[in-house]
Structure 1
Amino acid sequence: MNRTERFYKIDQMLQARGIVPLEAFLHELEVSRATFKRDLEYLRERLNAPIVWDREAGGYRFERASAAGPKYALPGLWFSADETYALLAAHKLLAEIKPGVLAAHLAPLQARLAALLEGSGHGAGQIMQRVRILSVGRRRVKPQCFAEIAHAVLKRRRIEIEAVNRARNETNTRIVSPQRLVHYRDNWYLDAWCHWRRSLRTFSLDAIQRVKLLTEPAREIADAALDAHYASAYGIFSGKPKERAVLRFSPERARWLGAEIWHAGQRGEWLPDGSYRLTVPYADDRELVMDILRHGRHVVVEAPASLRRAVTEELAAMTGLYRNPPAGRS
């Protein structure tokens, strides 16, 4: 933990226990005696902490502060990058849900998030104004459908859904056992057991037009099985990895790619010329091809051959569109 976190931990321990031995501080803060002494000196001299050593009790405690003396107050505790993102993202997601079905339930939750943000020592409104989370490509979900699906996920009930299959431009009705709600790249998805296909499937919530809650209990899939199916391969297209993509990024693009996480099971390697080789497991190449193409000439697919063909074919089709534009366009 960093220094500010240690200050809060010292304060918390003293507030909760009254008397705290030196050994307890050293153990829980995981610092040396010298570091603790420096922290204690700073708290006393800079922040006016009334911490004293009680010889009889064998530990440190707070001394009752004088009403006329300087006030003791800890500085505002800022959050880490991950914590800040989690709080702001949750607050933003709640704010984007249309009022209506969930309004009464969301208001207390939003108030609680605002209070956590206030804990940084800055107003929640100021933080929301100065720190932004931008959504790109977010698709709208029907609030009623979201509410019914979330209810079914938590209540462990089967649902009947009417969903649009955009690839085939058709609408299907099927019964599923919902397992998890997933928020991925600014959109919501439902991981579920499809009783029609008799296998695990992922449904985009924006494609679901109607939801009916059924009385039958949901089929339970073990967490380990869900993780093995959904988290072992790249992107939203799940399943057991069939291949490992080997991508080499140019030295220019490698300055960014070297810090990116594409998958928990990825491997990265810096090459002598400054380029970066990234190896990622995948089961379906559709999303991977899109992500490769956005890097243009700065990435080369080294393996497997099937992925090289998929990228090459897509590039050829794109080139054809520009070389031979549709009639009436130039």
Structure 2
Amino acid sequence: MSQTERIHQIVSLLETSRHPVPIARFLDELEISRATFKRDLEYLRDRLGAPIVWQRSETGRPGGYRLQGDGGDASGFALRGLWFNQSEIYALLTMHRLAGSMQPGLLAEQSSSLLARITHLLGTADDDPQAILDYIAIVQSATRRRPSPWFELVARASVRRRRLDITYYTRSRDATSQREVSPQRLLHYRENWYLLGWCHTVRDLRLFALDAMRNVSLLKSAAREVGAQRLSCALGEGFGIFGGAARRRAVLRFSAEAARWIADEVWHPQQRLRSEGDHLILELPFSHSRELIMEVLRHGHDVEVVEPQALRDEIRQMLERTLAQYAKP
């Protein structure tokens, strides 16, 4: 539980209790230590100006904390200036955007109430929730315009552990094929939905973009289960969503100017950074080169692939084809 949540719960207990709240109740309901409670209490008093006072025990009633405002009551107090840290505001705004963009289907009935609850959470005593949504936003990166009509069916098959018959369009080959797939994981990555599934046609794990599914049918057959370790390996070892088992390691050299940004970026959990004169060297594991090449090209002349040679050759050939297009009058 974050400090923001604890602060809200402490104030809620003080506001709703008819009698002073003993320390034991705070510790029990918040599941925190006495030291943590003391720190939160100090924060409430010193930073937020909460008029929290200790009332000594009376006959038949233990001592405890209560709110005391002007005239002996707490009617004038509110949580003013309480704000979220960057991870909390990012999580809430992300949930708000995802809930707001839900298509009718699997969670249609719940999405409106979820949206209202998230909107309420975004507000504080001084800030209207809508004002926060107006002035703080998460900007979407490139997303595909075609929404998938198959999300509900794919999600249902994933939860119920059933196989799917998928008519799938592979953009890289400009070809359509029929696949029998056992769903393993639904993934939301860079504004798009993907299904990691065991493809019975090729007898291996494959990643399917939901917006590239042309038709989907739910089969009666039970889905094949793939071990968690193998799924983790398929998703997490290499660079990007097409990671797979990392079989190669890329060494990238960034210019002094680009290094000011790259030094604070995490491209991969297992990356290594080191200085080389005015340059910055980034090493990271990868399996498939496609997504890594796209990221490298984004930095233009500010980055050079040092190793492996095969990756250098791929990028050189791609740049030669690009230059050839601009050589035409």
The TM tier, using the shorter chain, reads 0.7 to 0.9
Which whole-Å CA distance do the structure 2 matches of 1:93 and 1:36 have between them? Answer: 32
Name the SS for the 2:150 alignment partner.
Answer: helix
Which whole-Å CA distance do the structure 1 matches of 2:216 and 2:54 have between them? Answer: 60
Q: What residue in structure 1 maps to residue 255 of structure 2?
A: 250
Which whole-Å CA distance do the structure 1 matches of 2:81 and 2:170 have between them? Answer: 50
Is 1:223–2:235 an aligned residue pair? no
Cα distance per residue 1:257-302 (max 9 Å; x no partner)? 11111112212223442x3211111001111111101101101111
Q: What residue in structure 1 maps to residue 290 of structure 2?
A: 286
Pick one of 44, 47, 51 that aligns with 2:50: 47
Q: What residue in structure 1 maps to residue 192 of structure 2?
A: 187
Q: Indicate if the aligned counterparts of 1:101 and 1:144 stay in contact, CA closer than 8 A.
A: no
Cα distance per residue 1:293-314 (max 9 Å; x no partner)? 1101101111111111111111
Written as runs of structure 1 = structure 2, the 5 A alignment for 1:1-330 is: 7-8=7-8, 11=11, 18-20=21-23, 28=33, 30=35, 38-39=42-43, 41-42=45-46, 46-52=49-55, 54=57, 60-62=64-66, 69=73, 71-75=76-80, 77-99=82-104, 102-118=107-123, 122-273=127-278, 275-323=279-327, 325=328, 330=329
Q: Indicate if the aligned counterparts of 1:232 and 1:241 stay in contact, CA closer than 8 A.
A: yes
Q: Is the alpha carbon distance of 1:55 and 1:206 closer, same or farther for their aligned partners in structure 2, counting shifts above 3 Å?
A: same
Structure 1: unaligned runs, 5 residues or longer: none
Please give the TM-score of this superposition, normalised by the length of structure 2: 0.84
Cα distance per residue 1:98-147 (max 9 Å; x no partner)? 44675334222222322322358633322221112222321135443111
Q: In the comparison of the two structures, how many residue pairs are matched?
A: 321
Cα distance per residue 1:50-99 (max 9 Å; x no partner)? 44455998864326778664533333532222222222122212323344
Greater shift, 306-315 or 95-104, is seen at 95-104
Which whole-Å CA distance do the structure 1 matches of 2:99 and 2:167 have between them? Answer: 25
In the TM superposition, what is the alpha-carbon distance from 1:319 to its structure 2 partner? 1.5
Greater shift, 136-145 or 259-268, is seen at 136-145
Q: Is the alpha carbon distance of 1:65 and 1:126 closer, same or farther for their aligned partners in structure 2, counting shifts above 3 Å?
A: closer
Q: Once superposed, what is the RMSD of the aligned Cα atoms?
A: 3.4
Which whole-Å CA distance do the structure 2 matches of 1:78 and 1:86 have between them? Answer: 14
Q: Indicate if the aligned counterparts of 2:250 and 2:308 stay in contact, CA closer than 8 A.
A: yes
Q: Is the alpha carbon distance of 1:41 and 1:236 closer, same or farther for their aligned partners in structure 2, counting shifts above 3 Å?
A: closer
Aligned letter for 2:230? A
Aligned letter for 1:20? I
In the TM superposition, what is the alpha-carbon distance from 1:205 to its structure 2 partner? 0.9
Name the SS for the 2:77 alignment partner.
Answer: coil
Name the SS for the 1:148 alignment partner.
Answer: helix
Q: Is the alpha carbon distance of 1:66 and 1:285 closer, same or farther for their aligned partners in structure 2, counting shifts above 3 Å?
A: same
Q: Is the alpha carbon distance of 1:36 and 1:194 closer, same or farther for their aligned partners in structure 2, counting shifts above 3 Å?
A: closer
In the TM superposition, what is the alpha-carbon distance from 1:18 to its structure 2 partner? 2.9
Q: Indicate if the aligned counterparts of 2:51 and 2:77 stay in contact, CA closer than 8 A.
A: yes
Please give the TM-score of this superposition, normalised by the length of structure 1: 0.83
Q: Is the alpha carbon distance of 1:306 and 1:20 closer, same or farther for their aligned partners in structure 2, counting shifts above 3 Å?
A: same
Q: Indicate if the aligned counterparts of 1:50 and 1:63 stay in contact, CA closer than 8 A.
A: yes
Name the SS for the 1:144 alignment partner.
Answer: coil
